[in-house]
Amino acid sequence: MIYIILGIISFVFMFLFDFFSLKQHTVLKYVSALFGIGLIFVSTVFILVTDSHLAHGIYWMIVFGCLTICSLGLVIYSVFYEVGRKAYKKAATPSLVTTGTYALSRHPGVLWLFLFYLFLSLTTANNLLFIATGVWTMMNILYVWLQEKVILPFLFPTYEQYKLTTPFIIPTKKSITNFIKNNRRN
């Protein structure tokens, strides 16, 4: 249970990263990011070490393992590549990303991180990680909701317009169609 709580605290540090970014406190921004990412990583590792076992056949383990890897790839692509190119540099000027996976939803990383933890818990047959998946996803949703109320409108003057055209977390038929159309051209 302590590892689930540490995972919850990691989202507080991620919010502090955004807050310090807004206030242009570079050192505190990166310290917060380091603690946030570090806590969720350490929590995940300790949960996997203490509670994992193989309760299903190799076929399902391979299927869920591949889905885990794909989901992690999407997290890295959306959060660290699409946003990170502009947001995580030391002298970054914030820039609203509305293309790529951010055309599907305003917070695709929430969906990808949920899928990563869901598939990882299924791959390892880890009941505690399955519980953590739900708890951390709810915390992640709270985090991005707070981002939308406290941080993003101040960073991006056009954020309200973006909210009108793009769903919060779950892609819609319209956002999927727009995503496909825009990526065909590129």
Output phi, psi for 89, to 5 deg: -70, 155
CATH of the domain at 169: 1.20.120
Q: What are 104-146's pLDDT values in tens digits? A: 999 999 999 999 999 999 999 899 999 999 999 999 999 999 9
pLDDT tens for each residue of 53-69: 766 778 888 999 999 99
> Per the structure, how many domains does the chain have?
1
pLDDT score, position 155: 87
> Which pLDDT does position 161 carry in this prediction?
94
Q: What is the 3-state secondary structure (H, E, C) of 35-86?
A: HHHHHHHHHHHHHHHHHCCCCCCHHHHHHHHHHHHHHHHHHHHHHHHHHHHH
- Please give the pLDDT value at position 55: 66
* Its pTM surpasses 0.75: yes
Q: What is the pLDDT of residue 79?
A: 92
Question: How far is residue 35 CA from its own chain's centroid?
Answer: 15
Q: Which residues contact 109 (CB under 8 A, 6 or more apart)?
A: 75, 78, 79
pLDDT at 186 over 60: no
- Which domain, by its residues, includes 134? 2-185
Q: Count the neighbouring beta carbons within 10 Å of the beta carbon of residue 153.
A: 14
Q: CA-to-CA distance for 141 and 161, rounded, in angstroms?
A: 21
Give the pLDDT confidence of 157-174 residue by residue, as tens digits: 999 999 999 999 999 999
State the Cα torsion 27-32-34-36 to the nearest 10°.
Answer: -170
Band (pLDDT 50/70/90 cuts) for residue 1 is: confident
Helix, strand, coil tally for the chain in percent (to 5): 80, 0, 20
